[in-house]
Chains A and B, each alone.
Chain A
Amino acid sequence: MADLNRRLFLRGGAATLLGCSAAAHPWLTTVTLASGRAALGDNRLVVVILRGAMDGLDVVQPLGDPLLARYRPTLGVETGAQTLTGYFGLHPALAGLLPLWQAGEVGFVHATSTPYRDKRSHFDGQDILEAGTGRDVPEPEVRDGWLNRLLQAVPGIEAETAYAIGREALPLLAGAARARSWTPELRLTLSPQSRRLLEAVYHDDPLFHEAGMAALELSAEFVPGKMAPVAPGKGKQAEIDRLAGFATDRLLGETRIAAFSLAGWDTHRQQAGALAPNLAQLERLILQLRAGLGDVWGQTTVLAMTEFGRTVAENGTRGTDHGTGGAMVMAGGALKGGRVLGRWPGLEEAALYDRRDLMPTSDVRGWAAWAMRGLYGLERGVLEGAVFPGLEMGDDPRLLR
């Protein structure tokens, strides 16, 4: 009800201004964040977009295949991987996740990809990953992200239900359903009169109105530095901690879905040095979320996905070039982890895609769809139609506990 009042007030913002009403109005005093609980229940979903194409073969290494060392003389075996299964090993920069793996709170999908093929452009690849469309080319008419279409499919969603976190816009959560977008380090102190005047000035421009109202609301609500769940880190680590801290704070409240992106996975050169710091960030993110969420971790699933994998063979500069099949990283107390899922296609040249890339044997959207079905009980028809058009989910992989 308070929210309704606010909206009515905003619609009449300019008129109120012209009428010289200096009285305080509902929106200045009431910040209403309606509940996502009724619509989505108690389960939490965190989606992380890994921009730049994470090398799945270096993250979850098929150590049991003797070809690996031939394809990758300086990567893979050389990095000193930790054993996951009899066949696969984990990149040492993720060794901190091994206890979670053993507890079934971390799992992987191998040889998975979006439907995108052949052009191997990061930018088209990311567009398709976030749009969740079913063709191998971007569909410009699809302007929303699949996580937003999930929200569109559930009645009673409020803006607070889902958060895009970070400085940059996140296409994954863009669209008609209301969702919040914020970055934890912002500070904005405004007098009540300035707020009122800004509202009036933004009133007639829908883009500025939407962004402006959210900015005024969120800046009033959050004081940076308020949340610090675990020991603070330095530099990039501190940034991860801020992200994780903010996400934790929200997810412990009314928020059920949080999304953000981590960039820097494009390792064309000297991959051994370039990949490890990114993996360390991903590891820290998962560990911080786990520590911060406490009991709620048991109701949480984290999916980290990337636009495509990288070439099976190392290139001439100790890195890897753009490929096709890749890996997805999953975590969370709700997860039935401790497994490397997905059909393994093998590394023989004839088994590769285009004789160069890991052959994708599953659609990455299918795993996300099964996770959302398990978490929120969405109907298969909705997931295969509205959320991921053209997807065939196949058999239930029983991702969750």
Chain B
Amino acid sequence: MPDPADIAAFRFGFGLPRRAGQGETPAALLAALAGPDAGLRLWPAPGQDRVQALARAADRLQREMRKNPGDEARRQSYRQALAAVAALAEQQMLLTLARALDAPDSLRERLVWFWADHFTTVARQRTQAALPGALVDHALRPQVAGRFDAMLRAAVLHPAMLVYLDQSASVGPNSQAAKGAKGRRPGLNENLARELVELHTLGVGAGYGQADVRQMAELLTGLSVDKAGGQVFLPGRAEPGAEHVLGRDYGGEGMAPILAALDDLARRPETARHLARKLAVHFLADTPDAALIDRMAAAYLAQETELLPMYEVLLADPAALAAPMRKARRPQEFLVAALRALGIDGAALLALPAKEVQRGIRLPLVAMAQPWQTPRGPDGWPEAAEDWITPQGLAARIGWAMAAPSRLLPGGLPDPRAFADTALGSLAGETLRLAVSRAETRRDGVALVLAAPEFNRR
């Protein structure tokens, strides 16, 4: 019989073995979430300022290089700046994985990943490669156990979002900037407005129309990114007059009406249900219980968009710790769980040579259809197990399970029978245990455990 504590470790964390102090019950998981951020204390994140400064330097050197074609020294400076950005982005990735490997409050790390997916951003240019990571570290992470209205503000106003969804270039058609423009007149770009309503808050099934999207786009004008790469409000770009979004008027100057609209969106019942459903789908099952979603949404709305009460309802549901495991671990979760089971901790991960990071992490993620931080669009990664456990996706997992462990553990692989216990505890089925005992080599036995359905489901 599966031990509920093992189910909790799989479903709300990165599997086994548990870290010292890691909670085994819903109450313990929630208590850890309400406490200090253990993962960040172990592996602090590079600051927003540093990310922005490196991006700005690279952008400036790129412009200079383009103005002076053939200038080898400038080209070299640009390359160096770009390499510094890439190194920072690589560090962000490794720190993200290190926190997932080491933090006793695994649920927080899983939630950070969940919200990073909800507020997906992708770097459009190489100079901006570290921006999406900064959004996760500095806009989302502080709020995962806090309030959604605060997270929404932080995410939507973050430069990574403003650039990714083109807000940084949107201009009110009747604004001073549009009227004063020489040559072609700049104008509106609807991208952020649409995804804000469709993906971040109400959800596509909600009752809004093109007019709401358009009005929201006009309302967001002025919101942009300054020369230093930070968020800014440019009054000259703002569309004059009040906007009418979802039945409400937003007038006034500056950021106030934008913030008011974001706060209102966060408090809509459609938003509550959209978020509740996404959480339940992510953690429990592709078709979650409708009554559970109602209860989660009600808890969120009753407490001013607080997220903990919603998580509490989710974890208290009888389905939370019940078998069977219906979801598939996404490739990133698979890799972290595999490294954890193999006994590789954050420090060992960060000490890996760059070549091994490429060979053991980045390329396998591509092959498993989850290239790091580059989902196909702002809707993020798919949820259904069928989307990940395809012939090609599973072949990539089997391939990793066969090849990577012996490279990562040059001192030798564990006994596969003991490894099944370490990695799966009470979740290892009889067929798997028997198969593992019949493997011809340690390598094959360890690979069987990692490639097994028990290890790939949660």
Contact = CB atoms under 8 A, between A and B. Distances in A.
A215 interface: yes
Contacts of B456: 208
Interface in B168-196: 169-171, 173, 178, 184-191, 194
B189 A167 contact: no
B386 A169 contact: yes
Interface in A116-154: 118-124
Interface stretch (A228-236, A313-321, A328-336, A378-386): A313-321
Given A73-B184, A180-B391, A322-B190, A204 B431 contact: yes
A123 B377 CA distance: 9
Nearest to A208: B453
A17 B166 CA distance: 57
A211 B398 contact: no
A193 B185 CA distance: 68
Interface string A207-236: 110011011001100000000000000000
A178 interface: no
B398 A198 contact: yes
Contact of A211 (B186, B189, B366, B394): B394
Contacts of B376: 51, 168, 263
Interface stretch (A90-98, A181-189, A361-369): A181-189
A191 B444 CA distance: 9
Interface string B211-236: 00100000000000000000000000
A315 B391 CA distance: 42
A14 interface: yes
Contacts of B204: 119, 121, 123-124
B1 interface: no
B448 A119 contact: no
A177 B360 CA distance: 35
B402 interface: yes
B432 interface: yes
Q: Secondary structure at chain B's binding surface: helix, strand, loop or mixed? A: helix
A238 interface: no
Interface in B431-447: 431-432, 434-436, 438-440, 444, 447
Given A174-B386, A190-B402, A316 B439 contact: no
A261 to B, nearest CB: 9
A315 B394 contact: no
Nearest to A266: B377
A202 B457 CA distance: 12
Q: Secondary structure at chain A's binding surface: helix, strand, loop or mixed? A: loop
A214 B457 CA distance: 19
Given A181-B391, A186-B396, A194-B444, A319 B189 contact: yes
Contacts of B210: 118, 120, 354, 356
B367 interface: yes
A221 to B, nearest CB: 12
B191 to A, nearest CB: 5
Nearest to B391: A214
A52 B190 contact: no
Contact of A197 (B187, B328, B395, B435): B435
A6 interface: no
Contacts of B184: 73-74, 318
A316 B169 contact: yes
A207 B392 contact: no
Contact of A317 (B186, B194, B453): B186
A190 B398 CA distance: 9
B160 to A, nearest CB: 16
B342 to A, nearest CB: 18
A186 B328 CA distance: 21
B382 interface: yes
A51 B456 CA distance: 29
Name the residue among A119, A174, A189, A263 with the largest chain B CB count within 10 angstroms. A119
A358 interface: no
B191 A321 contact: yes
A21 to B, nearest CB: 11
B130 interface: no
Contacts of A17: 431, 434-435, 438
Interface in A27-76: 51-52, 73-74
Contacts of A24: none
A339 interface: no
Nearest to B429: A204
B389 A14 contact: no
B399 A187 contact: yes
Contacts of B367: 167, 185-186
23 contacts: A17-B434, A120-B213, A166-B392, A167-B392, A167-B393, A169-B382, A169-B386, A180-B391, A186-B395, A188-B399, A190-B402, A193-B440, A194-B402, A201-B431, A201-B453, A203-B431, A207-B389, A316-B186, A316-B187, A316-B189, A317-B170, A317-B189, A356-B210
Interface of A: 14, 17-18, 51-52, 73-74, 118-124, 166-169, 174, 180-183, 185-191, 193-194, 197-198, 200-205, 207-208, 211-212, 214-215, 218-219, 263, 266, 268-269, 315-319, 321-322, 354, 356
Given A169-B382, A204-B431, A219-B395, 15 more contacts: A118-B210, A121-B198, A122-B379, A124-B204, A181-B392, A186-B395, A191-B440, A194-B447, A198-B435, A198-B448, A207-B386, A208-B453, A215-B391, A315-B187, A356-B210
